[in-house]
Structure 1
Amino acid sequence: MERLKRRQDFVAAARSQYAAMPGLVVQMRARGDGATPRVGFTATKKIGNAVVRNRVKRRLRALARLRLSAEARPGHDYVLIGRASTAERAFPDLENDLSAALKRLHRTAHLPADKGTP
C-alpha cells in the first residue's frame, strides 16, 4: 500500500468523508482511478509530546498493515488520525474501531461529502 506524503493529498482527504471513532478518526477520499489505495497518518501536537505522537503513529501504521490492506478499496485515499486515547487503547479495540469506521465509510461512499463548502 502506498503512502500519502504531499500536503495537498491530506487536504483533499480532509474535505471528503470521515468517521470518528473512540480510538481514531478515518478520512476517506475516492480518487476516481483504479490505482492501489494509499494511506497517510497524522498525530497532532494536541495529543502529546513527540514520544507519544510517534507511538501513536507506529500503532496506526501497524493497524493499517494488518487491517487496512485487506479492507481498503482501490482508487481511494485513507488518512488515519490519532487521538489522545490511541496510545493507551487496547490494540483489538483499535482494530474494531478501524473496521467499524471502514464499514461506515464504504456504506456511504456513494454519497457526496458535505462539509459546508459550495
Structure 2
Amino acid sequence: MKQADAYTILSRRADFLAANRGLRVARPGFVLLANRNEGLGRRAGITVTKKIGNAVVRNRMKRRFRALLRELLPEHGLADTDHVLIGREGGVERDFDKLRIELVAALGRARDGKGDAPRPHNRKRGPRK
C-alpha cells in the first residue's frame, strides 16, 4: 500500500464536529460518521468516550479501530470524505471479523447515501456528573 492510497488522521476538534453534520451509520460495535471534506482527501478519526470503560479498555478499542481503518479505508473508504468511528459499549468485546464485516457494510451504506435517521436535537439529557 502506497502512502497516497492511505488516509490522514483527524486531530482538530472542528473536523470531528464537522463530521457530525454528515451521514451517520450505526452498527452494534460503533457508529460511522461520513462527511464530504471538499477535496482534502480521505481522512479518519476515532472517538471513544469514558462511558465505554477505563483507559485500558478505551485504548484497546482504539487500537482495534485503527487496524480496521488501516485495512479497509484504502479499498472501501469514500474519496474526499472524513470518516469518524465512535466506539459503542459492546465494541471492545465484539469479534474482530464481525467488526470488519460491519465496517465494510457501513462504508457501503455511506457510499450509497443510506445513513440512519438523524438524532433528535431537542432530547433531554440526564443530570451532569
TM-score relative to the length of structure 2: 0.81
Residue 28 of structure 2: aligned partner? 22
Report the alpha carbon displacement of residue 15 of structure 1 after superposing the two structures with TM.
1.2
- Residue 44 in structure 1 maps to residue 59 in structure 2: no
CA RMSD of aligned residues (A): 1.9
Aligned residues: 114
Residue 58 of structure 1: aligned partner? 63
Residue 12 of structure 1: aligned partner? 18
**Aligned counterparts of 1:91 and 1:82: Cα–Cα separation in 2:** 14
Check 1:10–1:90 CA distance in 2 against 1; reply closer, same or farther (3 A cut). same
Structure whose alpha-carbon radius of gyration is higher: 2
Find 2:90's aligned residue among 68, 72, 85: 85
**Aligned counterparts of 2:30 and 2:119: Cα–Cα separation in 1:** 19
The unaligned stretches of length 5 or more in structure 2 are 1-6, 122-129
Residue 102 of structure 1: aligned partner? 107
Deviations 1:27-69 (A, max 9, x none): 0001122x42000000001110111000000000000011122
What amino acid does structure 1 have at the position aligned with 2:77? A
TM-score relative to the length of structure 1: 0.88
What amino acid does structure 2 have at the position aligned with 1:30? R
